[in-house]
Structure 1
Amino acid sequence: MALKSIQYDNKNFDISYEIVNQGLKKDIIILHGWGSNKDIMSKNFKNYLPSFRHIYIDLPGFGKSINEYVLSTNDYVTIMEIFLKEIHASKDTIMGHSYGGKVATKLNPKNLILLSSAGIVEEKSAKVKSKIKMAKLFKFLGLGAITKIFRSKDVDNMSQNMYETFKNVLNEDFTDEFKNYEGKAYIFWAESDTATSLESGKKIASLIKNSEFKSYEGTHFFFVENAKDISERIENGIL
């Protein structure tokens, strides 16, 4: 593991990262999802994609990258752009899982790899809608502390600034970002994903003009069982 300090918006960010296949020249940037970290991605992909130098990154606020600020997706994108320049890495090929897929898309690589990416706003279930109504009611009654029990599991054990960040990024509609992306996209999805539905994956594939779509059995972390096949499809497509 390595740590790189960068400056953005007069703030300091220490970015934790890992590089695999140090001697190679063709980079693949790999970004994890919300509540996850680089180690999960590295554990599953580091033994594959032998033609690439892998760069696994903990986004600020996750893993070993400390964050003390409230951020937006645009902040994450700019921080990543600065970081990649600092370590002299190419952003030609970027893979992103879940929330990392949104950051990857806005980084606008030549080759975009999406693993059950966030970015399509989906209809909330009746249960979620009920929780939101209850939380708003308690907040209106001055019982804001109680609303913590209604928070998504995605923010369990998160600091207040990361909870505020989560609210900033949760319901972003990336329809235009996907539609305007002009590179090549490789889209991989889980058929039983309840975090980002299969229909969202198909919609993203329809929005990106130059894209390939492949679905697998499994849930949101489907790539754990399918990393080898995904990696081979990436190498065959890009190289």
Structure 2
Amino acid sequence: MFVEIDGLKIFYNVEGNGNPVILLHGWGANSDSLFPISNYLKKIYQTVSLDLPGFGKSDIPLNSFNGDDYKNIVLKFINFLNLKNYVIIGHSFGGRIAIRIARENPDELKGLILIDSAGIREKKTEKQKISENTFKFLKKITTKLLKGESREKILDKLRNIFGSVDYKSQKGVMRDTLVKVVNEDLTSFLKEIKVKTLIIWGEKDKELPVKHAYIMYELIQNSKLFILKNCGHFPYLDNLPKVLSSIESFLEEIYGNS
């Protein structure tokens, strides 16, 4: 199904009955990526999944988005479906959006589940600083000395040399969007979250290290932490039964045995 929000067609899927659980996927993914979770929960709850703008079947924004833009789209989507007393599950980038909603618009939010969530920005290493400064310098020189197709070819080569995997996989507006969102540090938001929160993390996550889980657990007042051994950035793929068990227990605590 599709709905138009702020001129963008947003693809979504609603299954099951009962209390609503909204699932927000990670960067570069789509709503299908959380299917192992939604497919199980739909037996008891109403699961609501959407492709965030720029991903899956949803439209790409005309202009680059920041985290606040994504938050606003999701809130308008929730309002369109008239969802009340919902829980949000956010994985990685989806967790970043969920954190914003929990901190700024908590009225109808009953609980929060963060799975290997983005949101904490670490200080750049010296190697990262050198790489970033080199890219900026070479980009500036290229922009000044070259024009047209030649300039774009060189700039693309520079992006491929210095850009991250996520950056290389995106183009145009979504590249600019990535730069915006990864530079947003939500650490100060965490202590303002009041709703019950479950933090699930793969101990061997190489994209978002497990120390981020402990920081979130320390700062979010009413939170529980579940670390999965021998799991990476997608613990629900590495050990689905344990992830589902922890989510199910948390939802029962929030909603009761509904």
Using structure 1 for the length normalisation, give the TM-score: 0.90
Tell me which structure has the larger Cα radius of gyration.
Answer: 2
| Runs of 4 or more consecutive aligned structure 1 residues displaced over 4 Å after TM superposition | none
Partner of 1:65: 58
Rounded to whole Å, the distance in 2 between the matches of 1:39 and 1:156 is: 22
User: Aligned-residue CA RMSD in angstroms?
Assistant: 1.7
SS at 2:142 equivalent: coil
Q: Deviations over 1:170-195 (max 9, x none)?
A: 12111121110000000000111121
Matched, 1:227 2:216: no
Partner of 1:13: 8
Report the Cα offset of residue 130 of structure 1: 3.6
Matched, 1:208 2:212: no
Partner of 1:175: 187
Partner of 1:191: 203
Partner of 2:251: 238
Structure having the higher helix fraction is 2
Partner of 1:52: 45
Report the Cα offset of residue 229 of structure 1: 2.1
Moved more, 200-209 or 168-177: 168-177
SS at 2:243 equivalent: helix
Matched, 1:142 2:142: yes
Moved more, 102-111 or 219-228: 219-228
Matched residue type, 1:34: W
Q: Deviations over 1:41-83 (max 9, x none)?
A: 11x2133223211111111001111113211110101111111
Using structure 2 for the length normalisation, give the TM-score: 0.84
Query: Judging changes above 3 Å, is the alpha-carbon distance between structure 1 residues 171 and 226 closer, same or farther for their aligned structure 2 residues?
Result: same
Q: Deviations over 1:98-118 (max 9, x none)?
A: 111010111123201000111
User: Is the 8 Å Cα contact of residues 48 and 228 (structure 1) preserved in structure 2?
Assistant: no
Give identity over the alignment, percent.
31
Count residues with an aligned counterpart.
231
Q: Deviations over 1:216-235 (max 9, x none)?
A: 12211122122332222222
User: Is the 8 Å Cα contact of residues 96 and 103 (structure 1) preserved in structure 2?
Assistant: yes
